[in-house]
Structure 1
Amino acid sequence: MTFMKRFHVVLGTAAALAAVALAAAPESARAEFPDKNLTLVVPYGAGGGTDIGARLLSKDLEPLVKQPVIVQNITGGGGWTGWGTLASAKPDGYTLGLLNAPSFYMGYLDPKLGRKERLESFTPLINHVIDYVVITVVPGSPYKTVKDLVEAAKEKPGTISITAHGVGGDEHLAIMQLERMTGAKFKVIHNKATPESKSQVLGNHVQVLACNLSEIVTEVKDNQLRVLGVMSPTRSRFLPTSPTFKEQGYDIEASVSRGIAGPAGLPKDVEEKLVAWLDKVVTSKEHQEKADSLFLELRSIKGDAYRKFLKDNEQTVKDLMGW
């Protein structure tokens, strides 16, 4: 009996010493990150703008991390089924996800929704794409400029229909900014996705299309749609003849940004590795050429600068929505 007791004590002591040794082991002695596949959570369905950009990024990231990067579409809840999954994931760098601002903010800023997550529930790593809001009409529309549209909306408030894609989304916030600046009032038609909105406008069921620039370049070049204005600081290289709102006297910038984040609490060394790899992809010539073919404007904003970018955008949403 005595022998058995001593045997267990020795084993227990050995196990404890092994655990202490492992915890104290230098970083070089631990498994090198990553030693298995990464998951990239996309909070929207396959085939949309977010999904297309994510798959482009994941494919070009794989050679750098030397592991598969698997895109996982987790839809529902205005994106928050996916974002909730990301926030609750183990903070080890193996689960990443797309953050879409400003749509992302609504799930926790809206007091009626009562979500517990916040921006601080995530580790923002890098911005990938900036896609500016553009206002277009069909070629036969009586509105030739942003001023034409604004004056008509002031003369007959709430009668000119314009598309958006959810309360607090980038198009909706852009329309709200234009209304506050000018005193105009539009009839906002919310749809689930831009293809539905394009069909409504091209079919003359809705008068004005508000969406992201990458989504209408083809229709503009094919003369199916005419641009009234782009809410970008300078003219887009994809539509160089289309004027900005600023050129027309309306100092408004509005866009959707799509970036990569992990859950809060990522180890600093893992965060630094991921930021370096992602930045190398986003700034590479090869990735840029692929993005150009999809009319996606890449913009790398890293680490602390990306966190500030998101926080500033969060404040803009609070101000516009009154939260």
Structure 2
Amino acid sequence: MQNNQHPKRRSLLAAAALLAAAPWQSIFAAEQAIRLIVPFPAGGGTDVVGRLMAESLGKELNTTVIVENIGGATGTIGAAQAARATPDGRTLLLGITGTMAIAPSLLKGLRYDTAKDFTALARIAQTGNILVAHPGYPANTVTELVALAKRTKTPVLYGSWGNGSGGHLAAESLRSLAGIPMEHVPYKGVAPLLQDLIGGQIQVGMLDVAAALPHIRGGKIKVLAVAGSRRTSALPQAPTFKESGIAFDTDSWFGLFGPARMPEAEAQKIALAAERVMRQPELKARLHDLGLDAVPNSRAEFNEQWRADMVTWARLVQQSGAKVD
């Protein structure tokens, strides 16, 4: 049968058909995408890690991974949304030590049960918080700091990015284990703490590596020790607390989680894809630039680490007497 439609009319009809189909195609694409909740605002260190992971994981799974920033309440609002999501593998959470291991014992009224409402999938990267000081501080190592405090009997005034933060709890462990006087100055975040450290208003602080690294490299602050299980590759010269005679070796980490009751096949597929991603030299190098070490482990090993860390941090919260109003 001969098509008597004018060529221009046929083109218009074809274009109209494509436009009509486009919204459905967009909806279908959105439904197939994976949502990665980053429970902090855009632009911070956790957001950077989340976007690196989203890009690499999307390529590995041959799908789109969309980062959704849901900040507030030290990461627990975004975590609560992830916990309530349909457990079909389409909603994931970028969890950190603070929200997934410290918050359960520190914060009252959490809208989720951390131990029951999540599926641990993969550890993305880990590091230790670091003890830093103003360049003019007379101690250059944690050993020298301990000796100075014992000799002068003057309390070490130190800052952290908040009551109950990983930095606060690590420093309180140093105080207890070394038997030295220390006094905590809590700041509302890393930025004001860094400003006072660089300006000399406070001499000692606990920071995360990613925030401190540019200022260490610029000579504005100096690193005394790493409060983790191993030296960080970004600061290989800095010894760990344990190497310095302080029996503290608890790491801070970034991890990938899903809601509880995820189908085992879906959880295993995402976990294995994340494990492959974390072995990619390019991603490891990009994380290294942020002061983070990609040390891949299995899903079972990460689950064991996460649950053990909840117990460890609960003990540290109790020992420190940390409270959040």
TM-score w.r.t. structure 1 length?
0.83
2:80 alignment partner, one of 59, 78, 84: 84
Which of the residues 278, 289, 294 maps onto 1:293? 289
Residues 79-113 of structure 1: CA deviation (Å, up to 9, x unaligned): 11011001000000000011111443343324743
SS at 1:301's partner residue? coil
Which consecutive residues of structure 2, in runs of 5 or more, have no partner in the other structure?
1-29, 320-325
Give structure 1 stretches of 5+ with no counterpart: 1-33
- 1:57 matched to which residue of 2? 53
Q: 1:200 is aligned with what amino acid?
A: D
Deviation, structure 1 residue 157:
7.0
Contact 1:127 1:306 in 2 (8 A): yes
For 2:191 and 2:38, the matched residues in 1 are separated by: 19
1:41 partnered with 2:37 = yes
Match of 1:221 in 2: 217
Picking from 270, 282, 291, the partner of 1:274 is 270
- The question of 1:318 aligning with 2:305 is answered no
Moved more, 100-109 or 196-205: 100-109
What's the counterpart of residue 118 of structure 1? Answer: 114
TM-score (norm. length: structure 2): 0.82
Question: How far 1:315 sits from its partner (Å)?
Answer: 0.7
Q: Which residue does 2:172 correspond to in 1?
A: 176
Give a deviation string over 1:145-181, Cα, whole Å, max 9, x none. Answer: 2133234445677843212223332111211211121
CA contact (8 A) 2:83 2:112 kept: no
Q: In the alignment, is the contact (CA less than 8 A) between 2:76 and 2:99 conserved in 1?
A: no
Pick which of 313-322 and 230-239 moved more: 230-239
CA contact (8 A) 1:42 1:50 kept: yes
Q: Report if the CA contact (8 A) 2:121-2:270 is conserved.
A: yes
Letter of the structure 2 residue corresponding to residue 72 of structure 1: E
The 3 A distance-change label for structure 1 pair 156 and 42 is farther
Task: State which drifts further: 206-215 or 310-319.
Answer: 206-215
| Secondary structure of the corresponding residue to residue 51 of structure 2 | helix
- AA aligned to 1:308 is E
SS of alignment partner, residue 99 of structure 1: strand
8 Å contact from structure 1 (residues 212, 255) kept in 2: no
CA distance in 2, matches of 1:114, 1:75: 15
1:1-323 correspondence to structure 2 within 5 Å: 36-110=32-106, 112-113=108-109, 115-154=111-150, 159-322=155-318
CA contact (8 A) 1:107 1:113 kept: no
Q: Describe the shift of the 1:303–1:295 C-alpha distance in structure 2 as closer, same or farther (beyond 3 A).
A: same
Give the distance between the partners of 1:198 and 1:242, measured in 2 at CA. Answer: 19
What do residues 45-90 of structure 1 show as CA deviations (whole Å, max 9, x unaligned)? 1121111111011011111222211111111112110110010000
CA contact (8 A) 1:133 1:254 kept: no
Paired residues, number: 290
Shift in Å, 1:142: 1.6
Contact 2:36–2:93 (CA under 8 A) maintained in structure 1: yes
Root-mean-square deviation over aligned CA pairs = 2.2
- CA change 1:268–1:242 in 2 (3 A) is same
Q: Cα distance 1:57–1:116, how it changes in 2: closer, same or farther (>3 A)?
A: closer
SS of the aligned residue for 1:189 comes to strand
Amino acid at match of 2:124: H
Counterpart code for 1:236: T
On the 8 A contact 1:90/1:263 being kept in 2, the answer is yes
